[in-house]
Structures are given as structure tokens and as C-alpha cells.
Amino acid sequence: MSISVTALTKIYDTQKAVDNISFELKKGEIVGFLGPNGAGKSTTMKIITGYLPASSGKVMVCGFDVQEQPMEVHRRVGYLPESNPLYYEMYVREYLEFSAGIHKLGKGHGKQIEEMIVRTGLSKEAHKKIGALSKGYKQRVGLAQAMLHDPEVLILDEPTSGLDPNQIVEIRDLIKNIGAEKTVLLSTHIMQEVQAMCSRVIIINNGQIVADDSIEHLQQTSTKQNVLIVTFEKDIDTDLLNELNNLEGYENIGSYKWRLTTNDPESLRRGVMQWAVKHDINISSLQAQTDTLEDVFRTLTKK
């Protein structure tokens, strides 16, 4: 496993910020780490990267214990924290040179820096001081330093914060390409980003993991079981709907599309098909209404 977290707990005075959580990430996974503000996301990420000690539990990164072998972990982890600390008086290339020195990249680091400048879209801004950059470009500098030493694991806390829609797409594509060969754990509040980049999500609330599953499966298991969405090929006489058994209510939600509520969805599904044949009505689609990832998140994290 690239990341293995076992019974991890972090306590600040009387507050338990992270409460006995466990999860694993394999190489090649891009996993969304979701939760409301104060849920324990950033604390967990700081512990995984070795910037914050755990109160108890164990974290392994690429086979190395974070507490006992921190330097080995730092060599294999690229970290973009939420605050993205940068030296504003440094020029972009100067800062990346500085980062290369910290990681002891050796003589070939100049080529690595230029490649990273291109990959993160910093070419036109590389001659500027970091303090003169927009927030979006500062975020790109943070990503560049996180990936400069070609780490096996990337920990990204709000990586698209402050980016405009075009920049978000570019960074999203960059992260997806990187994720094919590395392990990426990223935190974000933008559900569209999670769906675009991640195949799996871990949701944390009040310091505890409340979900760890694929996006598809989470949406399937939280389906609104008592709602069917049916689309006809033409307008229908609403009086005919009243013939359906087990139908508790109906609502037109678009062209030829209806939301049917019921206490027995399977019986209603069969009844709709028989009813359609009886009245020579063609059905384009018939399915249970599923929750969006945002719906799932809100359900699992509401107080």
C-alpha cells in the first residue's frame, strides 16, 4: 500500500480532532478526502506527511513509518497544504531552485524545474516574483514544488483553490495524468472536481470516517428508493396516471419526464410497464432517482 492509516487519533487538549480512523490507498488511486470544515481532513493530511504528530495510531507511507522514518517519508511525498506557504520575495524559478536544494535533487535539477514550469503552466510567469502573481498562479507554484522531486505520493489540500474555470480544468487534467502512476489524496469542497478526478471518496465527519467507497456505489446505495423517474416519448394524459396502483404522487419535471413517488417501487415499476402497453404509450427511460455526490455528502455529514 502507498498509504496505510491505522487507528489514527489526534487530540488537542480536550478536543478529539481525529478519532480512531483507518484507511488504505493503493498506487494509481486518486482518492477524494471530503468533509465539512473542522471535520479533521487537514489534520489527517498533516499527520500523513509528518508535519504533525499523532496522539495514537500508525501511518505508513510507501512502507515507511511516518513517526520513526520521517525523512524517508518526506522523500516520497509531495505536499500542497491548504495555506500554500510561499516566499513572496522569491522569483518563481528561484523558489523552485530552493525547493530542489531542499530535496537534494542533484545536477539535473535544472531540467526538472523547467519541465515542472511547463507542466503546471507557469512558463509566462516564471520570470516574476511570487508575490506579484495572482492567487491561481501562486497555487500553481505550490503544485510545482509539491511535484518537483517526482514523489510517489501526492497529498493535495484544496489544490484548485483560487483558480478560474479554465485553470481548474488544466490542473484537473494534470492531477489525473499524475494519478495514473502515483497515489493522490486530495481534499476539496468542489464535488464536480471529485467526480471528475476521483474513483473513490473517503468522507470524514466529526473526526470519524462515515464513508469509504466508490462514487458510483455511494450513489447507488443512497438512491431515493421510493422515487421513480420515467420519461415518455410524448405528452400524456395525467388522468391516466391515476390508474396506477401503488402511486402516491406524481410531478412533471421536464419535457415528457415525470417523478413518481411510491411505497412499493418494484410493483410500481412493473405496473408502469403494463400500463404503458395497455395505453400504447412508449417509454424512453424508467429508473430510480439517484442522489448526487453532493446529496450523499450532505446526508452523511449533517448534524
User: Would you kindly state where each structural domain of the chain is located, as residue ranges?
Assistant: 3-219, 224-301
Q: Are 236 and 281 in contact (CB under 8 A)?
A: yes
User: Higher-confidence residue: 217 or 146?
Assistant: 146
What is the predicted pLDDT for the residue at 224? 59
Q: What is the largest CA-CA distance in the chain?
A: 79
As a three-state string, the secondary structure of the chain is CCEEEEEEEEEECCEEEEEEEEEEECCCCEEEEECCCCCCHHHHHHHHCCCCCCCEEEEEECCEECCCCHHHHHHHEEEECCCCCCCCCCEHHHHHHHHHHHCCCCCCHHHHHHHHHHHCCCCCCCCCEHHHCCHHHHHHHHHHHHHCCCCCEEEEECCCCCCCHHHHHHHHHHHHHHHCCCEEEEECCCHHHHHHHCCEEEEEECCEEEEEEEHHHHHHHCCEEEEEEEEECCCCCHHHHCCCCCEEEEEEEECCEEEEEECCHHHHHHHHHHHHHHCCCCEEEEEEECCCHHHHHHHHHCC
The reply to whether the predicted model has a pTM over 0.85 is no
Exposed / middle / buried, residue 272 (Cβ in 10 Å: 0-12, 13-18, 19+): buried
- Fold annotation for 224-301: Alpha-Beta Plaits (3.30.70)
What is the predicted pLDDT for the residue at 225? 62
> Model confidence at 59, in pLDDT bands (50, 70, 90)?
very high
Q: Are 157 and 42 in contact (CB under 8 A)?
A: yes
Q: What percent of the chain has pLDDT over 70?
A: 98
Give the C-alpha separation, 115 to 38, whole Å.
36
What is the predicted pLDDT for the residue at 222? 63
Give the C-alpha separation, 291 to 97, whole Å.
47
In degrees and rounded to multiples of 5, residue 268 shows phi and psi of -65, -40
Instruction: Answer whether 3-219 and 224-301 agree in fold.
Output: no
Give per-residue pLDDT as tens, 170-220. Answer: 888 888 887 778 999 999 988 888 998 998 999 999 999 999 999 988 877
User: Higher-confidence residue: 180 or 140?
Assistant: 140
Task: Tell me which of 3.40.50.720, 1.20.1560.10, 3.10.129.10, 3.40.50.300 is the CATH number of domain 3-219.
Answer: 3.40.50.300
> Model confidence at 142, in pLDDT bands (50, 70, 90)?
very high
Among 4-8, 96-100, 190-194, the range scoring the smallest mean pLDDT is 190-194
User: Higher-confidence residue: 282 or 1?
Assistant: 282
Q: Give the mean pLDDT of 250-255.
A: 88
